[in-house]
Amino acid sequence: MATSGDRHPEGSRVSTTLVLPLAAVAAALIAIFGEDDSFGAVTVVGALAGLVPWALVAGGVRIPLVAFGAWTLAAGVLVVTVGSSAGGMFPVMIALVYVAKATDDWWLIGTMVVGGAAAIVVLAIAEKSVHQSGMIYFLGGTGISLLSGRQLRQRERLVDELRAMQQLRVEHAAVEERTRIAREIHDVVAHSLTVVMLHVTGARRVLGSNPARAEEALARAESVGRESLDSIRQVVGLLRAGEDGRSATEPSQPGLDALDALVVGYRSAGVDLSVDFRFVDLDPAIGLVVYRLVQESVANALQHAPGAPCTVVIDTVQPAKPYAGQLHVEIANSPARNPVSPVAI
């Protein structure tokens, strides 16, 4: 989705690409028709010749900036010195704005400034009148043109940096989202495989003595495995939708209301799990954190202390207690009863 930060930079470049050539045309007309007396052929030819690079720029033709600056400066100097028309400085000033905006080559920028200033000084000397030639005004205008061009360049550079920062923010957000989804997959897989392995282990132990119970355990393992696959498919679908740029509905996240089902799942797998839940309704984000904490902690207890009883306590800290207003979550397990190898998750 395009944002305002994406549109403004391109709009500013398009505007300067169109406005400056139009300003150059206006400056050429001023150079031709701005004098009180009749204009000469040199003035007309020089002013129109100075528009050639602008026509190429407006047409999207890439020309070397040195060639652009040299051509427009030469045309303007021709109008000022040979044509004796101070109006030839207007096209030079517009060209200076363009060059100062487009490059940091101070040799080129300085050449245009010095060349234009020298031309108007020569005209003032030839006419023996600073006022008649408008030397002071044109020298000031040259300085303003230089500052305007540099200001435009600084603005475009700042906009480019802002766009780069925006792109980095988007990429960083995508990385964070992928990391969160990876954690989600890890939590789902770790919990599901732990429960599945408990059911499978129990089924193997009673397969000979109680086939019906073994079949029931395998059925529960299959059910847990299918639920895990469905959850993983939802998360992977969310990932693929993000890669394609399509919107996706994020799968519903478990919360405190899902703790009972989690406990039932562990107990059905033969885990000696006791719980003590005393809490009020909490924010869904906190509920998700608590759910994942219990899920991961019990899975770790089963991995490192298989067969040991495990206790889960979730309590809202009362005002009279230290750290009042906080949620107290405690997961503890006893030493392992059975010397069996834990399942690596």
Out of 168, 188, 210, pick the residue that ends a domain.
168
Tell me which residue of 60, 68, 66, 71 sits closest to 17, measured CA to CA.
Answer: 60
Three-state DSSP string of 309-338:
CEEEEEEECCCCCCCCCCEEEEEEECCCCC
- Sign of the CA dihedral running 64, 24, 15, 112: positive
12-20: list long-range contacts, CB under 8 Å, 24+ apart. Answer: 12/155, 12/156, 12/159, 13/156, 16/101, 16/152, 17/57, 17/58, 18/58, 20/54, 20/57, 20/94, 20/97, 20/98
154-157: list long-range contacts, CB under 8 Å, 24+ apart. Answer: 155/12, 156/9, 156/12, 156/13, 156/101
Residue 11 reports pLDDT greater than 60: no
Output the six-digit token pair for 173: 């957000």
Cα three-residue angle 297-300-301, rounded to 5 degrees: 85
Ordered strands of the 310-316 beta sheet? 273-278, 310-316, 327-333
Give tens-digit pLDDT for 227-283. 777 777 776 766 666 555 554 555 566 777 888 888 887 787 677 888 887 766 677
324 belongs to a structural domain: yes
Least confident of 7-11, 75-79, 286-290, 310-314: 7-11
| pLDDT of the residue at 165 | 92
What is the distance between the alpha carbons of residues 289 and 312, in angstroms, rounded to a whole number?
15
Domain containing residue 276:
253-345
Out of 168, 195, 224, pick the residue that ends a domain.
168
| pLDDT of the residue at 344 | 35
217 belongs to a structural domain: no
Give tens-digit pLDDT for 250-259. 556 677 788 8
Using pLDDT thresholds of 50, 70 and 90, give the confidence band for residue 144.
Answer: very high
Do residues 135 and 17 both lie within one domain?
A: yes
Helix (H, G, I), strand (E, B), or coil: what is residue 49?
helix
Out of 145, 168, 191, pick the residue that ends a domain.
168
Do residues 162 and 35 both lie within one domain?
A: yes
User: HSE (CB half, 13 Å, CA atoms) of 152?
Assistant: 23
Give tens-digit pLDDT for 26-79. 888 888 887 655 567 888 888 898 899 888 888 888 889 999 999 999 998 888
17 belongs to a structural domain: yes
What is the distance between the alpha carbons of residues 124 and 223, in angstroms, rounded to a whole number?
96
Q: How does DSSP classify residue 256?
A: G
| pLDDT of the residue at 297 | 81
194 belongs to a structural domain: no
Q: Into how many domains does the chain fold? A: 2
Alpha carbon distances (Å) from 97 to 53, 69, 159, 164: 14, 11, 19, 26
| Contact indicator for 302, 194 with CB cutoff of 8 Å | yes
| Contact indicator for 89, 121 with CB cutoff of 8 Å | no
Residue 86 reports pLDDT greater than 80: yes
Question: Is the pTM here over 0.85, yes or no?
Answer: no
- Sign of the CA dihedral running 165, 167, 170, 176: negative
